[in-house]
Chains A and B, each alone.
Chain A
């Protein structure tokens, strides 16, 4: 499985989880969609940032 395929498969599942976690707190579906999109963006950015930091740290550790 390539990195592109992994990302492609991760994003929809991440969105569904974000949607459900937002739906538990809000009644209006429009509000749920907006909230879940915001959460999805934050969550994806956080995961990408953490992965990038881990990747760079491992690269630095393994360089010696």
Chain B
């Protein structure tokens, strides 16, 4: 069976589940986290967490690119399999692929595969960051407002 077809069907099913079950806050947060690492946390007001997690993902991704002489983000030519992982990097991966499109491998680089691993792991870690945004958005929705107990108490006093 065609692997691409299976992946496509699974992706469409997951996106469908995501679109129908997520709250607007979760949906926006996860989409922003996918677009750029850390952006989803910023959207939820978790600036420090977004800065740390997003910074780590971007730094790991860049270190991987430096190790591989900026030639490892090539989803359509050299690394279609890593390209699946890079898809989770959103704009970061897209921009990197676009900017390094014309570069050719002209020398033997012993760190090339390590660079591929670093960048691939960085974009896969963005999935965890997206899951974290989903969890945080869900938890924030369940948290009662800070002044809710006081308001409830005031309400009971007024009625008695």
Chain B: interface secondary structure? helix
* Interface size classification for chain B: 20 to 34
Q: Kindly list chain B residues whose C-beta atoms are within 8 Å of the C-beta of A16.
A: 56, 60, 121-122, 125
| Given A20-B128, A24-B132, A29-B48, also A9-B114 (CB < 8 A) | yes
Q: Kindly list chain A residues whose C-beta atoms are within 8 Å of the C-beta of B60.
A: 12-13, 16
A/B pair count, beta carbons within 8 Å: 37
Contact of B31 with A by CB under 8 A:
no
Q: Kindly list chain B residues whose C-beta atoms are within 8 Å of the C-beta of A20.
A: 53, 56, 125, 128-129
Chain A: interface secondary structure? helix
Q: Kindly list chain B residues whose C-beta atoms are within 8 Å of the C-beta of A24.
A: 128, 131-132, 135
By a beta-carbon cutoff of 8 Å, the part of chain A in contact with chain B is 1, 9, 12-13, 16-17, 19-21, 23-24, 29
The contact sample of 14 A-B pairs, CB cut-off 8 A, is A1-B111, A13-B60, A16-B60, A16-B125, A19-B56, A20-B53, A20-B56, A20-B125, A20-B129, A23-B49, A23-B53, A24-B128, A29-B48, A29-B49
By a beta-carbon cutoff of 8 Å, the part of chain B in contact with chain A is 48-49, 52-53, 56, 60, 63, 67, 110-111, 114, 117-118, 121-122, 125, 128-129, 131-132, 135
